[in-house]
Amino acid sequence: MSKRGGHLWIFLATPLLAKECRIYIHDLALRLGVPVKGAGLAEGIEVFPKHDAIGPGDFGNAIRGPLGIHRGANRRFWFYGADYTLEAQVEYLKCLRKVTEDELRKFVAGKEVPHPAVVSRPTRSFPATPRTEGTRPAFRILDHVGRVRKVGRDYVTRCPSCADAGHDRSGDNLAILIEDLRFYHCWAGCSKEMIRNALGFPIRIRNYV
């Protein structure tokens, strides 16, 4: 169960590579015809983990563990299949079949994530001084978002596009590269166009003849 529907948990016999787990879930969703949020899609299921790997000093997305108390709803959301007590739920989870490393490797052999939901971060360094677009000052996203906090190399804040759709209650979907504010990315998959539209500052389309 969850506040807005349900979570599908897949349990593993041992810790396995996030990249291979993500390939498995994305491939399964593709074969079932279930849209995955990301790659320009604002709606669909969310896949966790959202990263193939985490760089030094970086953090992944927080997620409430099984049987944890939801901070917003201040309650537990139970698994279907057992009585709604902690003891019964834990016994139920202990009896569930776990995916082994050999099984996962067979499932993902020769496959990749169909539509990458994560855009690689830039490796080059750019000047942080804002440019101008014609006679107008350059768009600076920090002037239009709410409170931010530093996480590794990024500022992290609520994604305006996600917020318009009633999502991102934790306020950490939007990452803005500290060394160059022109680079920002929604980990839930909202495009830059969607983010700018949500802020009321759509990206200008230049027509060349």
Among 66-75, 148-157, 191-200, which range has the highest average pLDDT? Answer: 191-200
Q: Predicted confidence band at 66 (pLDDT cuts at 50, 70, 90)?
A: confident
82, pLDDT greater than 80: yes
How many CB atoms sit inside 10 A of residue 5's CB? Answer: 7
Which sequence spans correspond to the domains of the chain? 18-108, 132-199
In the chain, the amino acid numbered 69 is I
pLDDT in tens, 159-187: 999 888 888 877 888 889 888 888 888 88
User: How would you label 18-52 residue by residue, b for 16+ Cβ within 10 Å and e otherwise?
Assistant: bebbbbbbbbebeeeeeebbbbebbebebbeebbe
The conformational region for residue 129 under phi > 0 = left, psi -120 to 50 = alpha, else beta, is beta
Q: Predicted confidence band at 132 (pLDDT cuts at 50, 70, 90)?
A: very low
99 compared with 128, residue with greater pLDDT: 99
In the chain, the amino acid numbered 123 is T
pTM summary value: 0.53
What pLDDT sits at residue 137? 64
Cα gap 194→196, rounded to integer Å: 6
- CA nearest neighbour of 24 among 96, 120, 117, 103: 103
Cα gap 204→109, rounded to integer Å: 43
Element (H, E) at 102: helix 101-108
1's tokens: 């169960």
The residues, ordered by sequence, that sit 6+ positions from 166 with a Cβ below 8 Å of its Cβ are none
Please provide the average confidence, as pLDDT, over all residues in the chain: 80
Which range, of 69-78, 88-97, 99-108, averages the lowest pLDDT?
Answer: 69-78
Helix (H, G, I), strand (E, B) or coil at 64: coil
124, pLDDT greater than 50: no
40, pLDDT greater than 60: no
Q: Predicted confidence band at 145 (pLDDT cuts at 50, 70, 90)?
A: confident
11, pLDDT greater than 90: yes
2, pLDDT greater than 50: yes
How many CB atoms sit inside 10 A of residue 193's CB? Answer: 13
